[in-house]
Structure formats: structure tokens, C-alpha cells
A and B are shown apart, each in its own frame.
Chain A
Amino acid sequence: MTSLSDPTPQTPVVETMPAKSPARLSPQELKLRRRARLNASIRYSLLIVVGFIMVYPLLWLIGASFKTNAEMFASPWFWPENPTIQGYIDGWTTSTPYTFATFFINSMQIVIPKVIGTAISATLVAYGFARFHFPGKRILFAILIATLLLPDVVTRIPQYLLFRELGWLDTYLPMIVPAWFAWEAFFVFMLIQFMRSIPREMEEAARVDGANTFQVLIYIVVPMLLPALVSVMLFQFMWTMNDFLGPLIYISTVEKYPISLALKLSIDATEAFNWNSILAMTVLALTPSLVVFFLAQKSFIEGISTGGTKG
């Protein structure tokens, strides 16, 4: 039976909906309405349950950071019985001569230059690939994609040797400098794809208006690219904050440790782990990523993309 020939009960609803007040609905209509409401409540209940399960570890982490060490593993429920901020106090002072503030600053010294460098270099390289013809473009693009597929481990040792020759060990340079040369092909690729989806007329109009290649990039392309650029910076921020292996390989002085290493440090240093101080510092370590993410979300939504060419 097709929906066309079906003597469907929906038809009267559609016809009379705007005219009738809710108080004078026929039993038929009331039934439909109830069913719709029931469907919606089932849907939302399911979503809430699944959502809660997924977010529970994070809730537990935050709750547990206020528990005492004794209570820590006594109950899987996240709510602390005797809330205390002792974990935060112990954690902040750390078992080293430095406070956690030092490690925060260290992390920022890596993250900020790296994010800026990535944004600039990836944009430049993507602009070149997406908008210009030059000899060898195909081969270079193929190489770019190939490095995307290359596992990280393969390049670790040659890179280490290279940076050792340059005398960059125990500095942040091995982590920062590559970012200024569009080292992460993934970001370049992402921006190229986004640029390809932007019509070229705006750039052509700007050229006719007298803009040179660089001005077209700055005044026209970058603003239109902004949503993608924000994503790139966001990813780079979070990945760098969470990067453990990079600092582990290149940084040997405790004073220069970023957060990711410092957290590990507090696990190693004490025999009976102060779980609540570790968890407290983990919460603090997560905070910048969360804050940046929620700030950046706004410009995702405000995405301007291609509004200028709609008909």
C-alpha cells in the first residue's frame, strides 16, 4: 500500500491544524500528538543515558579530584563524601622544586608558537597548492599526501639525529620549528580541501580591485578560511597540550618539562601515589583545552564560508 492511496489519518490534521485551538482537537489528533510526544521522550531518554555514560569518566575525574585518598577507590560513584581541596594544594606544589605553574608556562612556550606557526605555514602552503599552477605541483602534492600516510615512528630516529646535530636537544625547538614549515601534512590537506570549496570569483574580484597575490590572501582568502583555520589551530592546540612522546624524547631537564611530562613525574616520584593530587592536576591540565574549545566553538557556528555567492 502506498502512502498516496492510504486512507491516511494524517490528512485531517494537516488541514485543520492552523484553524483549531489545541483545546478542540479531535480524539484522532490527540492520539497522534501523544504518540509524537512519547516518541520524543524515548529518543531523548536514550540520548541522555548514552551521553551520561560517555561523559561519566570525566565527571568521575573531576569528582575524584576532591576526594581524599582513602575514599578514592572505595566507591565508583563520582560524588565525594568529604570534599577536600588538599589534592589541589599538594599537586600544585609538586614533589619537585618547581610549582605546577612552571610546567604550565613551559607548555604554553611550546603550544603558542607551534599553533601560530602551524596556522601561518599551513595557510601559505595550502594557498599555493589550491590556487596556483607551478611545475612539479602534482609530484609535490603526491609527496604531501604520502607523508600524511607515513607513520610517525618512521621519522623519529632520523629526526632525533638531525636535531642532535643542530644542538637542539633539551630545547623546545624540535617541537616548534617544524610547525613553522607546514610539517603536519594533515593540516595542509585540510585547508586545501576547504579552499577548493570556496569559489574563486571573490579572489578574482579582489584582483580586479587591485589586490596583489598577498593582499588577496590576507584580505579575502584568510577571512573566508577562518572556520577551517580555527579548527586547525584547535586541533594543534589540543594535540600539543597532550603530546607526551615529543617532550619525552627531547626534553631532559625537569625545569623545562611541559604538563604532560610533569603529570607522569608525580606518578614516578612517590611510592604511595597521591592519587587525588594527580587527578587534581589532570583536571587543571585539561582546563586550557576545554576553555579554548568552547571559545572557538563560537566561530565554528558563525562560519561565514561562501555567503557571498548565493543566488
Chain B
Amino acid sequence: MAELQLKSVEKTYGNGYKAVHGIDLTVEEGEFMVLVGPSGCAKSTTLRMIAGLETITGGEVRIGDTVVNDLVPGKRGIAMVFQNYALYPHMKVRRNLSFGLRLKRLRKDRIERATEEVSGVLEIEALLDRLPKQLSGGQAQRVALGRALIKQPEVFLFDEPLSNLDAKLRASMRVRITDLHKRLRDEGRPATVVYVTHDQVEAMTMGDRICVMKDGHIMQIADPATLYQRPANAFVAGFIGMPEMNLNRAVLTRGDGAMLTLGTQSIALPAECAGRIHAPDGPVTLGIRPQHLDVVAPGTVGAFDATITNLEFMGHEVNLHAEAEGAGFVAVIASENFDTALARGDRVGLSPRPRNIHIFDVESGENKSLD
């Protein structure tokens, strides 16, 4: 139960490679913070610096009121769950769970009580006398979770704990972890969590807030809804959301009203949309989510004419791929609204909903359409 604070934290590896470029991050007490980003963006590095498994080469990490830069991992009040579970292969589950407590030389009955409680919560009582190699992936991960839980740490650290599990198990473990977090909060001992993943579904469903990273920089920290609706830049816009947001080069001009031009086609933007755009006239990146792109008859006002290049039937919805002026678009249509007569090569109009249009700076990628 403590706040976690990173101040201008940097990491330069021994080989001179700078993996983390001065990041600032505050995780409130009891908050579930997800670090998400593509592989190699230094999520693990950041987490391992918090844990004390990597040295911090610049800046400061605080847990509660303590600067922990120079503390060994065991003294930081953290617990960590690894991607590969990292159970001690020669110890039975029971001893795996209690290893940390035994090192602290707690009394035997207290250790036993704690083991029982934790294995009850995680439903691993039946596994206590097995060796790790006799466990399935899901069971092993529950034991790893138990090993973290039993220590009642200030901060929980997770490094892609579910990525070795199959899709179904991953979904149920996701719920289990968030339930556990809520339960601890309700019981009055809220757990501060930093959870690393490259999976946006995990990030969106689990996080109170999400920190999106790229190449050792933080791109945005926000709650899931904000991240989706008001991405701070084109990277976050493209990273969060399925299918990916359409990001295409367009030209913004303001005369009587604002106009967006894609090649030779232009659409007028309604005043309430134009009002929140504060990019100068000229080339911009137009961002529109597939869910916010309506398919209309070709030639409709406010729509770009496009040619269908592919249709993907997903069951409940259809992904329509189309090309307009050399730019590729994807639109998602609910199955019941889909005109089954449409086929590859047909002409359609693609009409972006003005409320959901994003305009990004071409150079910096910054979102210029936030009011």
C-alpha cells in the first residue's frame, strides 16, 4: 500500500544502449497501472528498474516515502510475477509459496496460515504438494501469483504474466487478477500494481490507467476511455483500437469553413468539428477509426469516394477495406447493416463522422484536434 513514483528515470545498458529516456510516472496507492507498448519499447526494463533487478542509471524511483534506487529487491517491498512463472523447480508448490516468508524467519504457524489463505484465494490447495513441472501453465501462473500475494507487498509488478497461456485461459486469468485487485481494495488493503503487457486488450480491460510507451519514451498516460477517445498522438491512436485507426495524409484548408482534401476529393467539416482543430492550414494526418467511418452511396456529400479492395466477414461485423485516392481505409460495419450486394471493386462513399475525426501534426504526430 504505497504510491510509486518515477522521476526522470533513465537506463543506459552496459553496452551503451540507452533503453529508457527519462520517464516520469506516478502510480497512486491502490492503482492498477498498465505499461503497454510494442516489443522492445523498454517496458520490462522499466519494470525491472522498479524491482531492483536492473540498476537505475538516472533519476529516482520512490516507493512510499523511500527512494529505493540503492535498495536490493528484497528490501523494496515489492513482489513480481514473471512471464515464465520462474517457480523454483526443486521446491514443491508449498515451499515455493513460502520461500520469501521462510527467508524472513517468520514463525512456522504464521507461514502455514499465510500459505493456506493464499492457496484458498487462488484455488491451488490441491496443488500444494506438487513440483512445478507437474503443473499446467495456468496452474503454474496461479502459484506464481500466490508467491507474490503471500508477501503482502507495497507494490505488485507483473511482466507479461499471461502471454504464455492460451487465449481462453488468458481471458479467465485476466478476470481473476482484476477481481483480486478489487477484492484487496474492498478489504481495505489496496494493492498498487504495475502490469506490463504488449496486448492492448489486457491493457484496456485491466488498467485503471494505462501508460503507452514507445522506444523508451512515454507517449501518453490516461484511463482507457480517454486513451481511446482522445489519443494524445498518432502513435497512441494507431496502437489502441481494433482494427487500427485509419491514418492518412490529407490537406487542411480554411476558407468559409474548414475543408479536408484527400488527393482530388474534398469534404467540408462542420463548424463544431472545425472549431476544435488547431492545426495550421496545410498537410495533416487524418485519423478516423474504422468504427466511425460510415459506408454510403458514392457521390454523397461529406464522403470520400472509394473502391472496395477486400471484404472480411467476422460474423457479427464486416471489415470493409477500400481505397480512395491511393489511401487505404478500413470501415467496420455491423452485419445487420451490411449490404450483401457489395463486392470487391464496387464504388462506395466513406463518410467520417465529424465528431470522431482526429487531426495529427504530420511531423510530431501530436493530436491537433483536442478541445
User: Residues of A at under 8 Å CB distance from B?
Assistant: 133, 199, 201-202, 204-212, 215, 219-220, 223-224, 226, 304-311
Residues of A contacting B103 in the complex (Cβ-Cβ under 8 angstroms) = 209-211, 215
Q: How far is the CB of B17 from chain A (nearest CB, A)?
A: 15
**Contact at B74–A209, with CB atoms within 8 Å?**
yes
Q: In whole angstroms, what is the CA distance A215 to B90 when docked?
A: 15
- The one of A201, A215, A223, A305 that contacts B86, using a Cβ cutoff of 8 Å: A201
**Extra A-B contacts (16), CB below 8 Å, given A211-B103, A309-B84:** A202-B88, A204-B53, A204-B80, A205-B80, A206-B88, A209-B99, A209-B147, A210-B100, A212-B72, A223-B88, A307-B132, A307-B133, A308-B87, A308-B133, A309-B86, A309-B89
Inter-subunit contact A210/B88 (CB<8 Å): no
Residues of B within 8 A of A207 (CB): 52-53, 72-74
Q: Is B100's CB under 8 angstroms from A304's CB?
A: no
* Residue B182 at the chain A interface, CB threshold 8 Å: no
Q: Chain B 73-84, CB within 8 Å of chain A: the 1/0 string?
A: 111001110101
* Nearest Cβ on chain B to A212's Cβ, whole angstroms: 7
Q: Decide: A202 near B73, CB < 8 A? Known: A209-B147, A311-B137.
A: no
* Interface contact A310-B133, CB-CB below 8 Å: yes
**A309 vs B147: C-alpha distance when bound (angstroms):** 15
In whole Å, how far is A127's beta carbon from the nearest beta carbon of chain B? Answer: 17
* A306 x B100 contact (CB < 8 A): no
The interface residues of chain A, by DSSP majority, are classed as helix
- Report whether B90 and A204 are in contact in the complex, using a CB–CB cutoff of 8 Å: no
Output the nearest chain B residue to A222 by Cβ-Cβ distance: B90
Chain A contacts for B14, CB-based, 8 A: 133
Cα–Cα, bound, A210→B86 (Å):
15
The reply to whether A224 and B89 contact each other, CB–CB distance below 8 Å, is yes
Q: Which residues of B contact A (CB under 8 A)?
A: 14, 51-53, 72-75, 78-80, 82, 84-90, 99-100, 103-104, 131-133, 137, 147, 151, 164
Chain A residues within 8 Å of B87, by CB? 202, 205, 308
- Determine the residue in chain B with the shortest Cβ distance to A215: B103
Other-chain contact of B90, A201, A223, A310 (Cβ < 8 Å): A223
B131 x A204 contact (CB < 8 A) = no
* In the complex, residue of chain A having the shortest beta-carbon distance to the beta carbon of B157: A208
CB neighbours (8 Å) of A202 from chain B are 86-89
Query: How many angstroms from the CA of A303 to the CA of B291 in the assembled complex?
Result: 55
Report how many A-B pairs have Cβ atoms within 8 Å.
Answer: 87
Nearest Cβ distance between residue A287 and chain B, in whole angstroms?
Answer: 31
A307 touches B89 (CB 8 A): yes
Instruction: Please report the C-alpha to C-alpha distance between residue A203 and residue B109 in the assembled complex, in whole angstroms.
Output: 27
Enumerate chain A residues within 8 angstroms of B147, measured Cβ to Cβ.
Answer: 205, 209
Query: In the docked arrangement, what's the CA distance between A206 and B89, Å?
Result: 12
Q: Are A306 and B89 in contact (CB under 8 A)?
A: yes
Report the nearest B residue to A210, measured CB to CB.
B74
State A205–B87 Cα separation when bound (angstroms).
8
In the assembled complex, the CB of B253 is this many whole angstroms from the nearest CB of chain A, namely 55
Q: Report the bound CA distance from A100 to B75 in whole Å.
A: 58
> Shortest beta-carbon distance, B130 to chain A, in Å?
11
Are B80 and A212 in contact, with the CB atoms below 8 A? Answer: no
In chain A, what residue has the closest Cβ to B148? A208
Contacts of B137 in A (CB 8 A): 311
Q: Which residues of B contact A204 (CB under 8 A)?
A: 51, 53, 73, 80, 82, 86
Cα–Cα, bound, A127→B304 (Å): 66
User: Once bound together, how far apart are the Cα atoms of A205 and B133, in whole Å?
Assistant: 17
- A13 vs B242: C-alpha distance when bound (angstroms): 49
Contact between chains at A308 and B89 (CB < 8 Å) = yes
Distance to closest chain B CB from A207 (angstroms): 5
Chain A residue numbers with a CB within 8 Å of B79 are: 208
**A308 — nearest CB in chain B belongs to which residue?**
B89
> A224 to B164, alpha carbons, bound, how many Å?
23
Q: Is the CB of A208 within 8 A of B51?
A: yes
Question: Would you list 15 pairs from A and B whose C-beta atoms are within 8 A, ordered by A residue?
Answer: A201-B82, A204-B51, A205-B88, A208-B53, A209-B103, A209-B151, A304-B90, A306-B89, A307-B132, A307-B133, A308-B86, A308-B87, A308-B132, A309-B89, A310-B133
Asked whether A205 and B104 contact (CB < 8 A) given A212-B72, A224-B90, the answer is: no
| Contact in complex: B84, A208 (CB < 8 Å) | no
Complex Cα gap A306–B137 (Å): 15
What residues on A are CB-neighbors of B82 within 8 Å? 201, 204-205
Bound complex: CA A308 to CA B74 (Å) = 21
CB distance from A299 to the nearest CB of B (A): 12
Q: Are B74 and A208 in contact (CB-based, < 8 A)?
A: yes
Task: Tell me the complex Cα distance, A220–B100, Å.
Answer: 12
A211, B132: Cβ atoms under 8 Å?
no
Q: How many Å lie between the Cα of A201 and that of B90 in the bound state?
A: 14
Q: Is B86 within 8 A of A211, CB to CB?
A: no
Minimal Cβ-Cβ distance residue in B for A133: B14
Please report the C-alpha to C-alpha distance between residue A32 and residue B340 in the assembled complex, in whole angstroms: 57
Min Cβ gap A78→B in Å is 44
How long is the Cα–Cα vector from A309 to B151 in the complex, in angstroms?
Answer: 22
Give the distance in Å from the alpha carbon of A205 to the alpha carbon of B78 in the complex: 11
Rounded to whole Å, the gap between the CB of A81 and the closest CB of chain B is 53
Interchain CA distance A204-B132 in the complex, whole Å = 17
Q: In the bound complex, how far is the Cα of B85 from the Cα of A215, in angstroms? A: 20
Chain A, residue nearest B151 (CB)? A209
C-alpha gap A207/B86 in the complex (Å): 12
Of A133, A201, A220, most buried by chain B (CB within 10 Å of CB) is: A201
B132 partner residues in chain A, CB cutoff 8 A = 307-308
A21-B307 Cα distance, complex, nearest whole Å: 63
Cβ–Cβ < 8 Å partners of B89 in chain A: 202, 224, 304-309
Cα of A219 to Cα of B88 in the assembled complex, Å: 9
Q: Is the CB of A212 within 8 A of B74?
A: yes
| Bound form: Cα–Cα A12–B75 in Å | 66
Nearest CB in chain B to that of A207: its residue: B73
Contact of B74 among A133, A211, A219 (CB under 8 A): A211
